Amino acid sequence: MERSAVAPAAGVALIALGAAALPLVTRDSYYLDVATTILMNLTLTMSFRLQVSTGQINMAHISFMGIGAYASALLVTRAGLSFWATLWIGALVAALLAVPIGSVALRVSGPYYFLITFAFSEVVRLFFNNFFEGLFGGPSGLVGIPKPGRLLGLVFDGKLALYGLMAVLCVVVVLALVRLDCSRFGLTAGAIRQADLVAETLGVNVFRYKLTTFVLGSFVAGLAGVFFAHYRQVLHSSDFGLEPMVLLVVFTVIGGTGSVWGPVVGTILMTIASELLRELHHYEILVFGAVLILTMLFAPEGLVALPGAARRLLRRVRARTTAPAGAGLAP
């Protein structure tokens, strides 16, 4: 695991270049829509992986996206605030709520943490669905959310402009998270995942680290949620329910959580696959479930680890075939 800063910088530059190059190839609104979804999902999976890197599987991650989305939608439609303010306010609301929730959930670990966060995500979903119907729209959803509007003389209502906005947000998030991963923060996070008690006795306040990643991840999820609200212009509680959460886990895990590039590969491949499987509707999750099981069985470290695994296998095969006869005998 090399932690120099050159390869990560090149990776981020590649994502930025790819995102910038797409409109030169096509301005078809369908492709722009898929690309925007990829970038939105990538923002989510990268922030989810930040938490996974300290060993947390936070099943409420999607809920913080929802909290950011609903907060911004209401502040714009009810309080008349500008999208450019609620973009940050929505993310901050998600982060602020993450402090008490994380403080409770992180008292436990492993399967209990998984269960507590899962329970919380259902509470949030049911809350948006069943309470304050006049505010959240209830089962029929919250509609009439305006597009972002003007900033610095640019109008953000077309597919291309919104794609550009999401691309900028995503690249900034990826840059920050990649930088974190390559830094001492990432080193410490990985140490916590491998052996939290040893890290703690070496002076690492494990709880504080986990809470930091929980809150920071929630901030980023909230940011993606705000964009989602004003991009789709309609919110349903099921947008932040179990099914999208499972997809978020699948997207992140299939690529591999060992490196920051796992979620990148997984998200791009799986979002495209999800588009191709669109006709299956709710059955697509069956396909993703199967893909997840196959990945866990045959490539537990994710797709990005496959080249390395193949190389090791090849070297072992080669070593066996070229070993001289009788090499195992004692002299």
Partner 1 sequence: MLLELRGVSRRFGGLQAVADLSMTVAPGSIHGLIGPNGAGKSTAFNLITGVIPLTAGEILFKRERISGLRPSEICRRGIARTFQATALFREYTVLQNVLVGAHLLAAPGLGPALSWSRSYRERERQARERGETLLHSLGLGAVASQVVGQLPHRDQKALALAMALATGAELVILDEPLAGLTDQEKAETTAVLRRLREQRITVLLVEHDMKAVMGVCDTVTVLDHGVRIAEGTPREIQANPAVIEAYLGAEEPGA
Our CB check for partner 1 shows the closer of 57 and 173 to be: 173
By the rule CB under 8 A, 201 interacts with partner 1: yes
Our CB check for partner 1 shows the closer of 72 and 259 to be: 259
- To the nearest whole angstrom, how small is the minimum distance from the Cβ of residue 225 to partner 1? 22
User: Looking at 60, 173, 206, 285, which residue binds partner 1 (CB under 8 A)?
Assistant: 206
User: Looking at 77, 109, 129, 212, which residue binds partner 1 (CB under 8 A)?
Assistant: 212
User: Looking at 36, 37, 54, 188, which residue binds partner 1 (CB under 8 A)?
Assistant: 188
By the rule CB under 8 A, 259 interacts with partner 1: no
Interface positions, 71-110, toward partner 1 (CB under 8 A): none
- To the nearest whole angstrom, how small is the minimum distance from the Cβ of residue 71 to partner 1? 23
By the rule CB under 8 A, 187 interacts with partner 1: yes
Interface positions, 271-330, toward partner 1 (CB under 8 A): none
Select the span of 16-24, 137-145, 148-156, 181-189 touching partner 1 (CB under 8 A). Answer: 181-189
User: Looking at 34, 81, 96, 180, which residue binds partner 1 (CB under 8 A)?
Assistant: 180
Q: Let me know: does 46 contact 260? Beta carbons within 8 Å.
A: yes
User: Looking at 128, 136, 185, 240, which residue binds partner 1 (CB under 8 A)?
Assistant: 185
Our CB check for partner 1 shows the closer of 206 and 245 to be: 206
